[in-house]
Copies of this chain bind each other. A is one copy, B any other.
Amino acid sequence: MSIPNFKHALPVTRAQDFAAWYQAVVSEADLAEESGVRGSMVIRPWGYGIWERIQKLMDARIKAAGVENCYFPLFIPLSYFAKEADHVDGFAKEMAVVTHHRLKMIDGKLSPDPEAKLEEPLIVRPTSETIIGAAMARWVQSWRDLPLLVNQWANVVRWEMRTRMFLRTTEFLWQEGHTAHATAEDARAETMRALEMYRDFAETALAMPVVAGEKPENERFPGAVATYSIEAMMQDGKALQAGTSHYLGTGFAEAAGIKYQDAEGGQQFAHTTSWGTTTRMIGGVIMVHGDDDGLRCPPMIAPYQVVIVPMLRDNDEDAAVLAYCEDLARALGEVDVFREPLRVLLDRKPLKASNKRWAWVKKGAPIIVEVGGRDVAGGNVSVLRRDRLYNETGKTASAIVPRGDFVASAAETLRDIQASLYGEAKTRLDANLRRDVTDKAALAAAFAGDKPGWVEVEWAKPTGAALDAVEEWLKGEKLTLRNTPLDAAPATGQCIFTGEKAVERVIVGRSY
């Protein structure tokens, strides 16, 4: 059976225009689309299926850490925000504000009813520290109530001026963990636990290698004492912040009144943390694993891991082909992979087999199996691995395999695809992360001509105005500080920016 060459079936390749390629994959893989509402997207079934997989796997990790899911209100009274000055400064410019609770016909036009104006405006949550802090203040009385560990899966709204699907949307979906602790030490340990959970999740579930580290002072979450991130390298070499974890000190506890009686009877403010990951991760998966034929979805988060496409010819062989496919789907459904039943779809849509196959290639189903009359006769299946569409000569690499062998090796093949996607991305990250740059001119040159990648440099960790000056210079080069990797080597030389003695290493790169 021959499969047409898929190359360049998307309207644009990565090399031609990475940003346009990204939009094409989002659209052609049925992941999401513009909704007609400014900055908001419709997440389509395949994209939402990936999100459901992410939710399931992340939620299991969150629960395993003893964190309990709750649900807090969408609307936060404006006064709650005003209590934490840095926090409100950080978000005031991008808040959606509810001011009325009724519409009325006025001069023939449906309008907010002036008589239903709210006494206090309500903010559509951009993040929930303030409203969850108010609940924690009710729940925490004694040291025995700590640690208090909660999480919610929710939608949040930040009024972004420039939006891009999955990466930056006015409304997005996320999980936000919020915890309160008796001591700074406990809260810092929780901050790092969440960061490590995200690192492991990104690398294991998303097959996306990341660098975990602390954000510089002026990239902190508004109101945080310390912010940590995981940063992933996209195929264009840019960095995507794919998850953050914040140690909030006692600032939010003081604003909300989260106090506890310690073992000695004294009153103390709790130390809080928050940490979140969002639908943005799907954008990262696209830009890390996608190719010129569309998405390549890591098997752990693929809504379907194996898709069976029957090749029907409107003749009397069809019934046998379908029966064979149903039996194959049943057998695959009994296979376990990554400690879950394998997810298999028999695609019965009334479309031509080649169109269906092509649609699944674009969506990135990890394994596509085609079955025609000849396969049934020979007891075979035709197997295409999405991560290796082509052989060395550029032909599609589908292989005719005995059905039993395919079923027996399906779990191993999926594990291999997951590992190979990770390996490919890790090799790229390692190859494009330079550590040999020691002066500003060389740093600028390292990014000349849109050369992809990051540079890890030594710096003195300047603060205040000195840090502002560094960021100003970087901005001129269209560069940003990403984070100071936790596992970086110790600094031994001079700060690339100030010439002072360096204290640690920081990653510089372009970013989303």
Contact = CB atoms under 8 A, between A and B. Distances in A.
Contacts of A73: 35, 37, 40-42, 171
A112 to B, nearest CB: 5
Contacts of A102: 92-95, 97, 159
Interface in A10-56: 33, 35-37, 40-45, 48-49, 51-52
A244 to B, nearest CB: 22
Given A97-B112, A350-B144, A104 B92 contact: yes
A167 interface: no
A431 interface: no
B88 A95 contact: no
A81 interface: yes
A70 B88 contact: no
Interface string A109-120: 011100000000
Contacts of A77: 36-37
Interface residues of A, number: 62
Interface string A217-233: 00000000000000000
B92 A71 contact: no
A396 interface: no
A110 B96 contact: no
A40 B401 CA distance: 58
Interface string A76-107: 11100110000010001111111111111000
B110 A88 contact: yes
A353 interface: no
Contacts of A69: 45, 48-49, 52
Contact of A100 (B35, B99, B138): B99
A92 B42 CA distance: 24
A72 interface: yes
A211 interface: no
Contacts of A159: 101-102
A102 B135 CA distance: 26
Interface in A402-441: none
Contact of A71 (B71, B124, B144, B173): B173
Given A43-B71, A44-B70, A98 B96 contact: yes
A150 B112 CA distance: 31
A131 interface: yes
Interface of A: 33, 35-37, 40-45, 48-49, 51-52, 68-78, 81-82, 88, 92-104, 110-112, 121-124, 131, 134-135, 138, 144, 150, 154-155, 157, 159, 170-171, 173, 350
Q: Can you list the 4 inter-chain pairs with the closest CB atoms, starting with the nearest?
A: A40-B73, A45-B68, A43-B71, A92-B103
15 contacts: A35-B73, A40-B74, A43-B71, A48-B71, A74-B155, A75-B170, A96-B122, A97-B98, A97-B102, A98-B98, A99-B99, A100-B121, A112-B121, A144-B350, A155-B155
Given A45-B70, A99-B99, 5 more contacts: A45-B150, A93-B103, A94-B101, A98-B98, A111-B121
